[in-house]
Structure 1
């Protein structure tokens, strides 16, 4: 496998591509469906596909010991993901994908802020400028 597939940049770019398709497919899918049912169906698909990937790659394993702190934070992450998806599908049901998605992507801005506040991450001045531009751009697209 080429070395570029082992970089975070590659996988982050792939995540962005799939997230874009996710928004378009979800907008069409939620048109004739209750947004909570749509979220449930999407979640089932994600669980099944991930299970198949783990089985195909033989990477499914049950850890001997699950660290309580890590498990707690993963549970919180799962709850936040569920809440995010519920809100996202309701927003898609009510609005245009081209407006909903930029507002949803304000999460990029919030991650930068929360990362600095809670994780002690340090962003350069140019990175903070980029965060401000992302926020501005998302707001402009959403209002447009």
Structure 2
């Protein structure tokens, strides 16, 4: 799966697990504060990823990483934490079938940010698909 199309299989698996995340979280946060639920989820992720990295022999000294790597991984971690807190709060008070698709508006924002900051240039076809996602989010977000 390391080929140029291998990313697609990992992305599909990511989508499947993200969908399960919404369902499991919606059930799991009943009767518990959403911030505490986020902390528990994060602790479990830390344990599982630590075991995975150790068992696959992928451990290397984090102190050998560049300051730029630390800075941007740190910012990514902060953004992830903020996203999870907001997501769990939204799930606590909203329907999973509405919260999860609106959360995926991030797809639109990633395309815009990648264009602005990374120099990526999606094709016209790509932008049409991105606009369709944005339209779908708006359709779900605003009831008549």
Q: TM-score range by the shorter chain?
A: over 0.9
1:125 corresponds in structure 2 to 124
- 1:15 aligned counterpart, secondary structure: helix
- Given that 1:98 and 1:141 are in contact with CA atoms closer than 8 Å, whether structure 2 keeps it comes out as no
Shift of 1:142: 3.1
Shift of 1:98: 0.5
- Given that 1:99 and 1:143 are in contact with CA atoms closer than 8 Å, whether structure 2 keeps it comes out as no
2:105 paired with 1:106: yes
2:18 corresponds in structure 1 to 19
Shift of 1:138: 1.8
- 1:58 aligned counterpart, secondary structure: coil
Shift of 1:118: 0.6
Give structure 1 regions of 4+ aligned residues with deviation exceeding 4 angstroms: none
The within-5 A match list for 1:75-90 is 75-90=74-89
Cα distance in 2, alignment partners of residues 3 and 113 from structure 1: 27
- 2:128 aligned counterpart, secondary structure: helix
Cα distance in 2, alignment partners of residues 111 and 22 from structure 1: 20
Q: Deviations over 1:103-125 (max 9, x none)?
A: 10000000000000011000111
Alignment TM-score, normalising by the size of structure 2: 0.93
1:143 corresponds in structure 2 to 142
2:8 corresponds in structure 1 to 9
Cα distance in 1, alignment partners of residues 110 and 33 from structure 2: 29
Provide the aligned length of Structure 1 versus Structure 2.
Answer: 142
1:40 corresponds in structure 2 to 39
Q: Deviations over 1:23-42 (max 9, x none)?
A: 00001111111000000000
- 1:37 aligned counterpart, secondary structure: helix
- 1:61 aligned counterpart, secondary structure: coil
Cα distance in 2, alignment partners of residues 127 and 93 from structure 1: 33
Shift of 1:141: 2.4
